[in-house]
């Protein structure tokens, strides 16, 4: 049990009294108890309500004697572990000092018992937000910021949206690809691998496989650029390896074993020439309009082949026949 002397406050703590509507009238004792409860205690005893609660008059007089109090002085008692009682009485002292000045500006809580307001009275919760409460942040220790640390922070600031757009403008990607890379926060990954890859092709692969390992995506595209797998097989190969990271040789071997190796360009050219010659009348009638129908026929005939290479060779064959 700890005691706090409060000079000049005897008879000013008040006792429980109701207004005509049954709500408790404000009194200092209740405010002091509310302040103490912020430390987690259930309440305090003040001198105006004693003797009571098992504390007799003799014990009250002993407290007054031990604290060397006059008749005009009051006191507050708190029964709790020492550390908690000290916190509670410190809060009570601050609240009692406020009583000499003005009502505190604060957020208050309606007293609720059994799921409903008890009688309309309120108790203090916390100070209103403001400079005194918000700054400095009392839960964070003071940190000395050196010039070197500050410069390090400034030098490593994240890029702004405008800076990211400007960076992408130096790469050969379409406007739509650039917008998608920025919107999906893939621009850093794109830039990291872009130097060794065709920019538009890398952007397409990355956007089509945005949840896959980007290192795997880049490796598969490099194998394709080496002419060892077709463009159409890239997404299937990435899906096959999923979270694994095979070597380029393993990717090429998988492509060959599963029919993803492009047809030899010499053989491909001969197949296309043969298909165009068989449909010479159709080609002469439609001209370049024959590209679409013949593209499907050629792809069916050659199996695994790079669509871009097929398109180029087919266009050359049609143009040669149309001359």
Going by C-alpha positions, the residue among 315, 222, 309, 318 that lies closest to residue 262 is: 309
The DSSP letter of residue 52 is B
Per cent of the chain over pLDDT 90 is 44
Specify the long-range contacts of residues 70-74, CB closer than 8 Å, at least 24 apart.
70/7, 71/10, 72/7, 72/8, 72/10, 72/11, 73/5, 73/6, 73/7, 73/8, 73/9, 73/10, 74/5, 74/6, 74/7, 74/8, 74/9, 74/10, 74/11, 74/12, 74/13, 74/46, 74/47, 74/48
* Domain spans in the chain, listed from the N-terminal domain onward: 2-127, 161-257, 265-322
Q: Which two tokens stand for residue 49?
A: 């309500």
Q: What is the CATH number that goes with domain 2-127? A: 3.30.1360.30
Phi, psi at 107, each rounded to 5° = -90, 130
d(CA 204, CA 123) in angstroms, rounded, equals 63
| pLDDT tens digits, one per residue of 98-147 | 888 766 677 877 777 666 666 667 777 777 766 655 566 667 777 888 99
| pLDDT tens digits, one per residue of 154-178 | 999 999 999 999 999 999 999 999 9
pLDDT band at 259 (very low <50, low <70, confident <90, very high): confident
* Residues pairing with 46 in the sheet: 76
- For 238, the 3-state DSSP assignment is helix
Q: Which two tokens stand for residue 74?
A: 């009051």
Report if pTM > 0.75: no
pLDDT over 70 at 305, yes or no: no
| pLDDT tens digits, one per residue of 221-258 | 999 888 888 888 899 999 999 878 999 999 999 988 88
């Amino acid at each position: 049990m700890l005691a706090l002397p409060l000079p000049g406050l005897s008879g000013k703590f008040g006792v429980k009294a109701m207004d005509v509507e049954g709500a408790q009238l404000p009194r200092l004792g209740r405010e002091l108890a509310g302040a103490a409860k912020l430390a987690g205690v259930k309440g305090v005893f003040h001198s105006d309500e004693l003797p009571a609660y098992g504390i007799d008059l003799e014990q009250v007089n002993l407290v007054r004697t031990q604290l060397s109090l006059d008749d005009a002085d009051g006191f507050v008692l708190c029964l709790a572990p020492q550390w908690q009682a000290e916190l509670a009485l410190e809060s009570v002292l601050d609240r009692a000092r406020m009583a000499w000045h003005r009502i505190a500006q604060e957020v208050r809580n309606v007293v609720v018992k059994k799921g409903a307001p008890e009688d309309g009275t309120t108790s203090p919760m916390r100070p209103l937000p403001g400079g005194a409460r918000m700054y400095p942040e009392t839960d964070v220790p003071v940190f000395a910021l050196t010039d070197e640390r500050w410069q390090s922070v400034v030098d490593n600031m994240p890029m702004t949206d405008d800076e990211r757009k400007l960076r992408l403008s130096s790469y050969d990607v379409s406007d739509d690809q650039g917008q998608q890379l920025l919107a999906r926060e893939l621009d850093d990954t794109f830039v990291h691998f872009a130097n060794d890859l065709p920019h538009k092709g890398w952007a397409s692969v990355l956007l089509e496989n945005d949840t896959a390992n980007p290192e795997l995506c880049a490796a598969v595209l490099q194998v394709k650029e080496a002419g060892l797998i077709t463009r159409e097989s890239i997404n299937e190969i990435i899906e096959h390896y999923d979270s694994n990271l095979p070597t380029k040789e393993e990717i090429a071997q998988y492509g060959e074993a599963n029919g993803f190796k492009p047809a030899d360009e010499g053989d491909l050219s001969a197949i296309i020439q043969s298909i165009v010659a068989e449909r010479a009348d159709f080609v002469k009638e439609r001209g370049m309009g024959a590209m679409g129908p013949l593209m499907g026929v050629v792809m069916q005939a050659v199996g695994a082949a790079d669509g871009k290479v097929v398109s180029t060779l087919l266009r050359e064959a049609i143009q040669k026949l149309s001359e």
